Structure 1
C-alpha cells in the first residue's frame, strides 16, 4: 500500500513539473539522469558577464525529439567511458533579445579578453556568433561537450565554449591531432543520431528533423 501511495505522489509531481512546459518539451535530465550540466547563462560566466533573462533554474529543456536523440548519444558515449556536458539547450527569445541589447553597448567590454579578444563587438552578429533569432529558441539546439565519466573533466577540444573566434570553427587547423580527433568524435556521434553541426562553433548542434523549425519560444527556464 505504501509503495502504491509513493508511486502516485511521484507521478503527480512529475506531471506537475511538466505542466510548466509547453506540450512537446521535456526536462532532459529526466531522460538522462547522469547528465552533467553547467548552464552558463544562469550565472555570470558568459560573454555578457551577468545572468541572462529567462534563465531562472539550472534545468536543461529540449523538444522531446531532441532529448530522445541526445539520450542515444549519451548511451554510446557511456560505452566508451564518456558522458555529455551541457552548456545550453532551449533558450528563451527574451535571452536572445538581451544579447542584442548587450551588443548595442560598445562601451561594455568586460568579457572581451575571455570571449572575443580578436573581434570587434560590433561585428559579432555579422560573423555569425550571435543571432537576432536563435535556433536554441526553437527547442532542438544544444551546446555541449564531452567529459570523462570517471573524472568528470572535459576532454580537450582545442578551444573553450562561447569563444568568438576562428579557434571555435570546425575547420580550424591550428589545433593538435588529439584535439581535432576529439572534435570529430563528438561530431560523428551527434551526426549518427540526427544532429547537424554548426561550422562556426564546435559545441553547437541542431536536430535535423526538429519539430518546430519556424517557432521561436519565450517561456522561462524554471
Structure 2
C-alpha cells in the first residue's frame, strides 16, 4: 500500500508539474501540444498549417515577430503565419479572387498562442483592440487573420483607413469620415473576405474571423512545436 501511495503521489506531481495553469481561464479550456495532436488525429481539419505553403503568393508582414507593433517588442520567435486547414483553404479562394483584380493579400498575423494574448491584455486592457483572456481570441483558435490588400504590380499596400494595430476610432470597420479611396478599398477587402467565409471585426478593419471558428479549441502552442 505504501509503495502504491508513493507511486500515486509521484504520478500526480508529475502531471501537475507538466500542466500549464492560467490565471484568467480554466486550464481545461486551453489545448496544449499533446491535446492538440489528439484533436488533429480525430479531425484532420483541426490541423494548423503554414499559410505560405498553401497560398505561396501571399505577402507576410508578421509584426509580432518584430518590434514594429504596439508592444514594441518581439512576441513571436518566427515570422510565420499559421491557421486551421479550412481557414487556409478559404484564403486560397480569397487570393485567387483578388488576383483577377490585380490585387493580393498581405498578412500581419494569424494563429496566436493564448499566452501571447495574455501578455497583450496585461499591457493594455482595452478590449476594443485586445481580446479578453477570460474568453480567449479567435486568433487563439487559429481562425482569425489580420490582413490588408496589395497592388500586385507595385507590391504596395492599398490606401486603408489606418495602419495595422491602430487604436484609433478610424480603425473601425464602419468609420465613415474617410476619403472615398479609403472607403472603397476597405469595402473591397470586406466584400471579398465575406464572399469566402469571413466576417470583419467591427473595431478593426484588418481583422477577419472565419465563420466556423466556434468548432475549434483555444490553443497555446508555440510556433516551434508546429
- Cα shift at 1:211: 6.2
Match of 1:95 in 2: 116
Match of 2:100 in 1: 79
Q: Distance in 2 between matches of 1:168 and 1:100?
A: 19
The secondary structure found in structure 1 opposite 2:218 is coil
Match of 1:106 in 2: none
Match of 2:8 in 1: none
The secondary structure found in structure 1 opposite 2:73 is coil
Count of residues paired in the alignment: 178
- Cα shift at 1:210: 2.6
- Does residue 1:34 correspond to 2:36, yes or no? no
Q: Distance in 2 between matches of 1:147 and 1:175?
A: 19
- Cα shift at 1:56: 1.8
Which of these residues, 145, 165, 169, is aligned with residue 148 of structure 2?
A: 145
Match of 1:61 in 2: 82
Contact 1:139–1:212 under 8 Å retained in 2: no
- Cα shift at 1:158: 2.0
**Aligned runs of 1:1-222 on 2, under 5 Å?**
22=37, 23=40, 24-52=47-75, 55-103=76-124, 124-125=126-127, 128-131=128-131, 132=133, 133-210=136-213, 212-213=215-216, 215-222=217-224
TM-score when scaled to structure 1?
A: 0.77
Q: Distance in 2 between matches of 1:152 and 1:89?
A: 21
By percentage of residues, which structure has more helix? Answer: 2
Q: Which structure has the larger Rg? A: 2
Greater than 3 Å deviation, 4+ residue runs: none
Q: Distance in 2 between matches of 1:100 and 1:77?
A: 34
Structure 2 gaps, min length 5 = 1-35, 41-46
Contact 2:65–2:77 under 8 Å retained in 1: yes
Contact 1:43–1:50 under 8 Å retained in 2: yes
TM-score when scaled to structure 2?
A: 0.75
